[in-house]
């Protein structure tokens, strides 16, 4: 039963992925600047000094003079085969650049999400169980600070505190150079916001469940508080939180881009920003496409998780 | 026969913004082994709060048991430590609730929900508990019990869910079963079945039952003895026959005449008599005035009723009532 649903969801995600690809392509083309100029290693000032014939030759070489639909179909067909073209600037295969950057970003996101989920859910449960008491106020205050702190600012503060003032962690550098230490501050920086959102959602969802009749039934059975909260309460309260987690995973990419850049982590975010600086549209398209696909797959995963958690949704 | 459960002058209050609500204001009753006690009253008369107070299931805050005692085999449940009351809940005293739709956990299989108290209280292994859960499902007449063990509440009808609730409550063979409006949320046709089931199981297992209801019809069906509650107090208590034959409180009389009767409705050739009602509603328990709480709704109220609250007194053997006036009320 689960398998047919899985298959159907996978089929449904095809149009989504196609949309993602189209957007990625459009974004690359809509970004200002002339990729041909960039490919020639020139900036905008150099534009006037270029011979028009020369420019035309480069455009033709890169296929930029073809109608946009033709370019799109060509790009998409190749992208489907894992070929995102060759970077205009570095002349390295985009797929190579992307897949070199991907592990760093994935590691960062998985670490961030794990931290955010553990911290967020625990804070939320503590808040709900001790509603109106000191633990609740402290947890809620942390959550409010968390949702209202901009990620890039928090990243800089963390860097200032724990890399500059008290140099426990490196200011910047990759996982290969420093190992886990390189990931610690970026993880904390990105995790704060989703952890706070998860905590708030967990609290309100848990409070709602704890006021339901079935909690009274569970208590009347003589179960321990722990079992009432964690087995009967949490299980029923977790669904809306899973949705928030799913959305957050997608949103994280935004934060990751900035934070990777701040900490010079060689991930997709850094690649994307460099691509934008260089007007390297194939890199932009490739990076955006991979991020988009990751987004779509995450949503699919959340849907499946729903069905596993809640027997009523299993169709 | 000594009572298995006895409430003495129980008081449960709620602190609200508009003051203290005396939801239960000095209620005493007892139930003997194997007996069914009916507790009757309108919504808001404190009968549910009383029953929840027995197992300390009142959310605190805002609710609090402020006085009196709940004696279970001589042990005062209002005073025992938390882990002791947990050991009694579901093992010695069980409850079933009004809403079978929302009282079961939608995320847990029926089998696991029935198994939980068995594992908790009797220390059964998961497998043994499931075997026992299956027996319980058979006992409450759920067909195809084996496959229902892995079913979920949302796949069941209201009547079946209430049967599951009963199976769950009786799994550990408790001495007392508190049924808080167990049939109110069910179809009329199912109500009778559930009542009969409770009665049948009581006879089989010898459980004492406290049946809380607003429906005197339900009481007439199952109870041996009846307590009538009004505004957080007990106003009348008698065995079932005495109560129906000779009610000694105008409120009880009101409840009785408010039961629609077929002969009454069919009277006067298609011109049915208007259904009888008790005028007004239960007074807000935060603003109780001196005198009898029922006086504003009572056809027999006199000046005395407005000044002094009548005490509960034994009008005849085993028949208690709190009223200044003498029956019959016609």
| Residue A112 CB contacts under 8 Å (≥ 6 apart), including other chains | A186, A187, A190, A191, A194, A252, A256
- For residue A163, the domain's CATH number is 1.10.3720.10
Question: What does the pLDDT read at residue A127?
Answer: 92
Tell me what pLDDT residue B272 has. Answer: 56
Query: Containing domain of residue A216, as a range?
Result: 94-313
CB B314 within 8 A of CB B321: no
CA distance to partner chain B, nearest, from residue A203 (Å)? 18
Residue A273 lies in a domain: yes
| Cα A232 from chain centroid (whole Å) | 31
Of all residues in chain B, the one with the smallest CA distance to A237 is B107
Average pLDDT rounded to a whole number, residues B26-44: 86
Beta bridge partners of B29: B7
ipTM: 0.82
Chain B residues with CB under 8 Å of A217 CB are 95, 97, 103-105, 165, 168
Q: What is the pLDDT of residue A124?
A: 93
Burial zone of A130 (CB within 10 Å; 0-12 exposed, 13-18 middle, 19+ buried): middle
In this predicted structure, the answer to whether residue A131 has a pLDDT above a threshold of 70 is yes
Higher pLDDT, B48 or A39: B48
Residue A152 lies in a domain: yes
What is the model's pLDDT at position A123? 93
Tell me the CATH number for domain B3-92+210-321. 3.40.50.300
Paired residues of B234 in beta bridges:
B229
pLDDT of B265 reads 56
Best probe of the B interface among A217, A223, A228, by most B CBs < 10 A, is A217
Residues 293-312 of A with CB under 8 A from B: 309-312
Q: Check if B116 contacts A (Cβ < 8 Å).
A: yes
Q: Is the pLDDT confidence value at A179 over 90?
A: no
Query: pTM of the full predicted structure?
Result: 0.78
Tell me how many domains chain A contains.
1
For residue A141, the tally of other CB atoms under 10 A from its CB is 10
Q: Distance (Å) from the C-alpha of residue A222 to the closest C-alpha of chain B?
A: 4
Instruction: Kindly list the distances between the CA atom of residue A57 and the CA atoms of A45, A62, A86, in Å, as whole numbers in the listed order.
Output: 20, 9, 17
Q: How does residue A170 score in pLDDT terms, banded at 50, 70 and 90?
A: confident
Does residue B114 belong to the interface with chain A, where contact is any CB pair within 8 Å?
A: no
The reply to whether residue A310 touches residue B107, judged by beta carbons under 8 angstroms, is yes
One-character DSSP codes across A244-287: HHHHHHHHHHHHHHHHHHHTT--SHHHHHHHHHHHT-HHHHHHH
Parallel, antiparallel, or unpaired: how do β-strands B233-239 and B225-230 relate? antiparallel
| Residue A296 placed within a domain | yes
Average per-residue pLDDT for chain A: 84
Q: What is the crossing angle of helices A151-159 and A234-262, to 10°?
A: 70
Closest partner CB to A222 (pick from B87, B103, B108): B87
Q: Is the pLDDT score of B266 beyond 60?
A: no
Percent of chain A residues past pLDDT 90, beyond the cut: 20
CB count within 10 Å of CB A22 equals 14
Q: What is the mean pLDDT of residues A4-29?
A: 83
Q: What pLDDT is recorded for position B321?
A: 76
> DSSP secondary-structure letter at B283?
P
| Among A residues 204-263, those touching chain B with beta carbons less than 8 Å apart | 212-214, 216-224, 227, 231-232, 235-236
What DSSP assignment string belongs to A193-237? HHHHHHHHHHHHHHHHHHTSHHHHHHHHTT--HHHIIIIIIHHHH
| A84 in a structural domain | no
Among B211, B99, B221, which residue's Cα sits nearest to residue B162?
A: B99
Q: Which residue has the higher pLDDT, B273 or B153?
A: B153
Residue of B nearest to A235 (CA): B107
């Amino acid at each position: 039963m689960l398998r047919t649903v899985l298959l159907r969801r996978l089929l449904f995600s095809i149009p989504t992925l196609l949309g993602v690809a189209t957007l990625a392509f459009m974004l690359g083309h809509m970004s200002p600047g002339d990729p041909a100029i960039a490919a020639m290693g020139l900036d905008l000032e150099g534009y006037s000094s270029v011979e028009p014939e020369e420019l035309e030759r480069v455009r033709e070489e890169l296929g930029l003079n073809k109608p946009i639909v033709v370019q799109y179909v060509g790009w998409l067909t190749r992208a489907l085969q894992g070929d995102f073209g060759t970077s205009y600037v570095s002349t390295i295969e985009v797929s190579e650049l992307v897949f070199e950057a991907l592990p760093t970003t994935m590691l960062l996101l998985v670490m961030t999400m794990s931290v955010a989920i553990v911290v967020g859910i625990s804070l939320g449960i503590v808040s709900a169980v001790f509603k109106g008491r000191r633990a609740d106020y402290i947890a809620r205050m942390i959550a409010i600070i968390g949702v209202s702190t901009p990620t890039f600012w928090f990243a800089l503060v963390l860097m200032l505190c724990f890399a500059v003032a008290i140099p426990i962690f490196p200011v910047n550098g990759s996982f290969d150079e420093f190992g886990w230490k390189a990931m610690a501050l970026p993880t904390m920086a990105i995790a704060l916001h989703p952890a706070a959102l998860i905590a708030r959602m967990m609290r309100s969802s848990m409070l709602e469940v704890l006021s339901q009749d079935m909690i009274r039934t569970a208590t009347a059975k003589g179960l321990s508080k722990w079992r009432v909260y964690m087995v009967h309460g949490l299980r029923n309260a977790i669904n809306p939180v899973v949705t928030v987690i799913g959305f957050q995973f997608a949103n994280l990419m935004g934060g990751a881009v900035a934070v990777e850049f701040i900490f010079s982590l060689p991930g997709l975010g850094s690649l994307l920003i460099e691509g934008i600086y260089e007007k390297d549209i194939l890199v932009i398209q490739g990076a955006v496409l991979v991020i988009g696909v990751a987004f779509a797959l995450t949503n699919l995963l959340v849907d499946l998780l729903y069905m596993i958690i809640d027997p009523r949704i299993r169709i | 026969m000594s009572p298995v459960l006895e409430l003495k002058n129980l008081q449960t209050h709620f602190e609200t913004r508009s003051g203290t609500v005396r939801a239960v204001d000095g209620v005493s009753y007892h139930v003997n082994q194997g007996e069914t006690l009916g507790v009757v009253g309108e919504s808001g008369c404190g009968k549910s709060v009383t029953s929840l107070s027995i197992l300390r299931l009142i959310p605190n805050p805002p609710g609090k048991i402020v006085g009196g005692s709940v004696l279970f085999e001589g042990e005062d449940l209002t005073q025992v430590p938390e882990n002791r009351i947990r050991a009694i809940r579901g093992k010695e005293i069980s409850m079933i609730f009004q809403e079978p739709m929302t009282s079961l956990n939608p995320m847990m299989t029926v089998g696991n929900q029935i198994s939980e108290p068995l594992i908790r209280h009797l220390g059964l292994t998961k497998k043994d508990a499931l075997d026992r859960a299956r027996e319980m499902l058979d006992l409450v007449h759920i067909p195809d019990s084996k496959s229902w063990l892995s079913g979920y509440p949302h796949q069941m009808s209201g009547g079946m869910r209430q049967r599951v609730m009963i199976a769950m409550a009786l799994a550990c063979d408790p001495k007392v079963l508190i049924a808080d409006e167990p049939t109110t949320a069910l179809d009329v046709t199912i109500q009778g079945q559930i009542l009969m089931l409770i009665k049948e199981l009581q006879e089989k297992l010898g459980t004492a039952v406290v049946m809380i209801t607003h429906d005197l019809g339900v009481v007439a069906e199952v109870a041996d003895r009846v307590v009538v509650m009004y505004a957080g107090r007990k106003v009348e208590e008698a065995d079932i026959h005495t109560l129906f034959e000779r009610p000694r409180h105008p409120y009880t009389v009101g409840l009785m005449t408010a039961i629609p009767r077929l002969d009454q409705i069919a009277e006067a050739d298609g011109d049915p008599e208007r259904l009888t009602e008790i005028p007004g509603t239960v007074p807000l328990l935060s603003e109780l005035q001196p005198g009898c709480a029922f006086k504003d709704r009572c056809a027999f109220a006199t000046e005395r009723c407005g000044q002094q609250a009548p005490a509960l007194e034994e009008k005849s053997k085993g028949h208690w009532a709190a009223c200044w006036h003498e029956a019959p009320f016609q």
